[in-house]
Amino acid sequence: MAANEGALPSAWDSNRRSSNSRFLQVTDLRVKYIGTGNDDRDAAAIRSNYPVSKSLPFYYWEAQIVDKGRDGFIGVGMSAADVKLERLPGWEPRSYGYHGDDGNIFNGRGYGQKYGPTFTTGECCSAVRSVGDVIGVLFDRVERTISFTKNGRDLGVAFQHVMEPVLYPTIGFRTPDEEVVANFGGQPFQADASLFHRQAVARLHDEIRGQSLDKISKTPGNVVGRLVFNYCTHHGLWDTASLVARDVLAGTVAVSEAQRAEQAGLRRLAAHVRAGDVDAALEESEALGPGVLAARPGIRFRLLAQKLAELIGAGRDVEAMEFGRAVVDPAASTAEDHELLEDVVALFAYTDPASSPSGRLLTDEHRAELAAALVRALLAQSGKREFSALEVLHAHARALHAQLVAAGDPCTAMIPSVERFVAARGTPLEQEEDGDGDTAMPPA
Amino acid sequence: MNNFVMDYLVTEGYYEAAVAFGRETGTTTSANVSSAIERTQIRKAIQDGDIQLAMELLNDAHPQILEEQSGLLFHLQQQQVIELIRAGRTEAALDYAQEYLAPRSENNPNLLLELERTMALLIFDDVSTSPLADLMDVAQRQKTADEVNPCILRTQLEEAESQLPVLLKLMLWMQDRLKGKVVFPVIEDVLVAEPILAPSNEAAT
């Protein structure tokens, strides 16, 4: 079953037998009642081969009445997996049906509620087999509703609080010669199904844009402005930070000199590492965060190993050998350290260390990565965060989105990604609106 | 993230900060720059307490806006009364309120309430300790300026909301939606920005 998780209804399921399924003649999408139809015990229903995928926010299908048969006791709707098929949809618990003879809707009871018009093939023209009414069923998993259309016209919500996670398109018959053909999206629909999609997307976007930002922080005032200010100071954008403090936050915050000095120091530090000047980086580290290297032997070792690599890379082999023996080797304590040291020492074996298998140690990427790790260590040492609040929020939003996708939340089909949603400012994207034509199905 | 921040500064009408941000990060924007400059000037006039200038600028650029958006006009005029009171020009404040604010609030209970609060400023010796302190606060100017900006954007058929608030709203919405379904850390305070596994969250599973 798991393999078919993404499968959609594509035909009627004639394999699932009930005591009354012998009354049904099934050809792909077409079903005809061939029983006696004496009383309600002769009713027979059939459902689609697959249920509506749980990840779909909504699903629409249509059924055309080919022949109303003797009395036109035809029910169109949805039903759960365990619903018996000897009754019309809506008569059984966990099934929902709209019945053609009286236009009533049924949910788990033998008596119905007034809902819409009747549907039939017409009194005068039952001989013309293709002019019967077309009934559409819209299952909206986000709003938990089922609505119907008749000949393309929306009849409004029929059922609310539809909680069943798994539902199958279902159709039921009761009198001889009743005949229906289904359209699970293989043919154009009578109703503008893309409109349902657009409406659903618009509803969801309105809901999200309607979220209140009043309680997002205990700090009063312009919280978004503060987030921007913190972002600027975190990244050392001092001109912007000062202007944001003045214009956005009306001078309620200010750039502190200590903050500026610390940022400048971290910048110098990173520049030293990137330039291959490890000695200067070691010195600057101690100045900025006394004890930081002693507290983090792992990062200290990486710096020493880098110094060794830089010496070899510069062709200062004698100096490098002495340094390696006297300083680097004794400092190696973990298995990781020894592995790194072996990598570095391998550089000795090549006339052109930079293009050797260990040459990555002498690339700009590697130095930049080491510089970033050192900056992180220093920020942690002074109790500061590695990322600004805004960046944490962004990452959190992405993680939440991934969780919702993993949980199979149908709404995620309408929120392709955090970035796209935000870039569109929460307004539905044009290409999403008309991208999937008349199937009302979001792209897989 | 740089794009989100740039969008915020441009959309909200902080042109100087946007220019500095562009210079410091190399971020560019496709936004309408002249509109951003104009909105920045209006915002700055309001934040400096020069409501007269703000209304002139607004009228020059968008003659219809104050006519169509009576709520906005009222708040600008209210701000003008506050500024006159702040400057100690009590007579002028009274005249102005009688001429502009009073007729407008006659049939509108909400505006009447705001008018009453504003006029009450006149009877306090020390407004900063009164219940009306918020009106005299610079934050009130900010509030008024914040109201003007989206109105202009809407008349220009530009997006009235910047992207950062949308990011926060989406995050809140998703966080709420996951609650009770999946155990996942929650950010309660966006300025603290620490995802925490809330006990109530764990109980849900």
> pLDDT tens for residues B9-20?
988 888 889 989
What mean pLDDT comes out for the span B157-163? Answer: 76
**Angle (deg, nearest 10), helices A278-288 and A364-381:** 10
- Whole-number average pLDDT of chain A: 86
Assigned token pair, B125? 């010796």
Mark whether A159 and A303 lie in a shared domain: no
Q: Which residue of B has its CA nearest to A395?
A: B171
CA B48 vs CA A254, A285, A389, B2, B87: distances in Å: 19, 44, 30, 29, 13
Query: pLDDT at residue A168 above 50?
Result: yes
Cβ contacts (< 8 Å) between A415 and chain B: which residues?
170
Name the domain count of chain A: 2
**CB neighbours (10 Å) of residue B116?**
10
How many Å apart are CA A19 and CA A176, to the nearest integer? 17
Distance (Å, whole) CA A234 – CA B5? 13
Q: Identify the H or E element spanning A78.
A: strand A75-79
Q: Give percent of chain A above pLDDT 70.
A: 93
**A51 shares its domain with A185:** yes
pLDDT at B127 over 80: no
Tell me the average pLDDT across A215-229.
89
A350, two tokens: 């090549």
Query: Does residue A39 come out as left (phi exceeding 0), alpha (psi in the -120 to 50 range) or beta?
Result: beta
In a domain, A433, yes or no: no
Residues of B in contact with A264 (CB under 8 A): none
3-class secondary-structure state, position A96: strand
**CB-CB under 8 Å, B195 with A227:** no
Task: Take residue A55 and report the two structure tokens written for it.
Answer: 């990840």
CA distances in angstroms from A61 to A9, A82, A230, B170, listed in the order given:
9, 21, 51, 31
Query: Do β-strands A58-68 and A145-150 pair in parallel, antiparallel, or remain unpaired?
Result: unpaired
- How far is residue A74 from each of residues A69, A97, A250, B149, measured CA to CA in Å? 9, 9, 69, 58
Chain A positions in Cβ-Cβ contact with residue B187 (cut-off 8 Å): 392-393, 396
Question: How much is the pLDDT for A174?
Answer: 93
Contact criterion met (CB < 8 Å) for B190 and A393: yes
Judge whether residue A396 has pLDDT over 50: yes
Residue partners of A368: CB distance under 8 A and separation at least 6? A270, A273, A274
A183 phi/psi in degrees, rounded to 5: -130, 105
Residue A384's Cβ-side half-sphere holds a number of Cα atoms within 13 Å equal to 19
Cβ atoms within 10 Å of A273's Cβ, excluding its own: 27
Sorting pLDDT into bands at 50, 70 and 90, what band is A181? very high
Q: Which of residues 410-429 of A touch B (CB under 8 A)?
A: 411, 415, 418, 421-423, 425-427
8 Å CB contact of B174 and A223: no
Element (H, E) at B176: helix B163-178
pLDDT of residue A130: 52
Task: Flag if B170 and A426 touch (Cβ within 8 Å).
Answer: yes
Confidence of residue A4 (pLDDT cuts 50, 70, 90): low
Q: Domain of A98: which CATH number?
A: 2.60.120.920
The whole-number pLDDT of residue B198 equals 67
Contact between A389 and B192 using a beta-carbon 8 Å cutoff: yes
Q: In this structure, are A173 and A262 located in the same domain? A: no
Chain A contact probe: residue of B138, B162, B171 with most A CBs at under 10 A: B171
Which of B1, B17, B44 lies at the smallest CB-CB distance from A394? B1
The A residues from 356 to 415 touching B (CB cutoff 8 Å) are 385, 389-394, 396-397, 399-401, 403-404, 407, 409, 411, 415
Domain boundaries, chain B: 32-155, 163-204
Tokens of B177: 């939606």
Mean pLDDT (whole number) for B5-28:
88
Residue A255 vs residue A179, higher pLDDT: A179
Which of A330, A352, A382 is the last residue in one of the domains?
A382
Contact list in B for residue A411 (CB cut-off 8 A) is: 177
Question: At which residue do the structure tokens 């219809």 appear?
Answer: B64
Q: What is the mean pLDDT of residues B95-112?
A: 83
Write the residue in B169, B171, B184 that is nearest to A209 by C-beta: B169
**Residue numbers in A near B185 (CB within 8 A):** 396
3-state secondary structure of B8: helix
Q: pLDDT digits over A22-38, tens only?
A: 899 998 899 999 988 88
C-beta separation of B109 from B78 below 8 A: no
Quote the tokens at residue A381.
């040492």
ipTM: 0.70
Query: Are the C-beta atoms of A227 and A389 separated by less than 8 Å?
Result: yes
B12/chain A closest Cα distance in angstroms:
9
In degrees rounded to 5, what are phi and psi of residue A95? -135, 155
Does residue A171 form part of some domain? Answer: yes
Residue A391 included in any domain: no
Q: Note the pLDDT tens digit of each residue in A356-395.
A: 888 889 998 999 899 988 988 888 887 777 788 999 999 9
Enumerate residues 6+ apart whose C-beta is below 8 A from A76. Answer: A63, A89, A97, A98, A100, A119, A135, A137, A148, A170, A171, A180
Query: B59: part of which helix (H) or strand (E)?
Result: helix B51-61
pLDDT at position A100 is 92
Q: Quick one: pLDDT band at residue B164, thresholds 50, 70, 90?
A: very high
CB atoms B44 and A223 under 8 Å: no
Residue A81 DSSP SS3: coil
**Secondary structure class of B164 (helix, strand, coil):** helix
A305/A259: higher pLDDT: A305
Prediction pTM value: 0.69
pLDDT of residue A175: 93
| Beta-bridge partner residues of A176 | none
Out of A189, A220, A241, a domain closes at: A189
Q: Is residue A203 part of a domain?
A: no
Contact A224 B159 (CB under 8 A): no
Longest dimension (CA), chain B: 66
Q: Residue B101 has what pLDDT?
A: 83
Integer Cα distance of A204 and A427 in angstroms = 10
- Find the closest chain B residue to A391 by CA distance: B1
Which residues have CB under 8 Å from B129's CB, separation 6+? none
Name the 3-class secondary structure at A245.
Answer: helix
Residue where one domain finishes, among candidates A329, A350, A382: A382
Same domain, A365 and A288: yes
CA dist B22 and B16 (Å) reads: 10
Q: Is residue A209 part of a domain?
A: no
What are φ and ψ of residue A125, in 5° steps? -125, 35
- Residues of chain A in contact with residue B5, where contact means CB-CB under 8 angstroms, are 228, 231-232, 390
**What does the pLDDT average to over A111-132?**
72
Residues in chain B with CB shorter than 8 Å from the CB of A391 are 1
> A218, A230, A249, A393: which to substitute to probe chain B, counting the most B Cβ within 10 Å?
A393
pLDDT reported for residue A437: 37
Task: Name the residue facing A217 among B12, B23, B189 (closest C-beta).
Answer: B189
Q: Where are the alpha helices (DSSP H) in A275-363?
A: 278-288, 292-295, 297-313, 317-323, 329-331, 335-345
Q: What's the confidence (pLDDT) of residue A251?
A: 80
End-to-end C-alpha distance for chain A, whole angstroms: 19
Number of CB pairs, chain A paired with chain B, less than 8 A apart: 160
User: What is the per-residue pLDDT across A408-444, written as a single tens digit (0 to 9) for each?
Assistant: 888 888 888 999 888 887 777 554 433 333 333 433 3
With CA atoms as reference, report the closest residue to A347 among A299, A310, A319: A310
**Of A42, A121, A47, whose CA–CA distance to A79 is shortest?**
A47
Within-domain flag for A350: yes
CA distance A402 to chain B (A): 10
Please give the average per-residue pLDDT across A131-150, as a whole number: 91
The residue with greater pLDDT, A280 or A200, is A280
CB-CB neighbors (< 8 A) of B4 in chain A: 390, 394, 422
The Cα of A55 is separated from the nearest Cα of chain B by a number of Å equal to 15
Q: Which residue of A has its CA nearest to B40?
A: A247
**Smallest CA–CA separation between A216 and chain B, in Å?**
5
pLDDT tens per residue across span B51-86: 999 999 888 888 888 888 878 888 999 899 889 888
A332 lies in which domain range? 256-382
Question: Higher-confidence residue: B35 or A317?
Answer: A317
Same domain, yes or no, for A168 and A48? yes
User: Using one digit for the tens of pLDDT, what is the confidence trace for A68-107?
Assistant: 888 989 999 999 999 989 899 999 999 999 999 999 999 9
Per-residue three-class SS string for B104-155? HHCCCHHHHHHHHHHHHHHHCCCHHHCCCHHHHCHHHHHHHHHHHHHHHHHH
Give the pLDDT confidence score for residue A124 in this predicted structure: 46
Does the distance separating the beta carbons of B190 and A223 come in below 8 Å?
yes
pLDDT for position A45: 93
Of B21, B25, B193, the CB nearest to A389: B193
Give A244's DSSP letter. Answer: I
Kindly list the residues from chain A whose CB atom is less than 8 angstroms away from the CB atom of residue B133: none
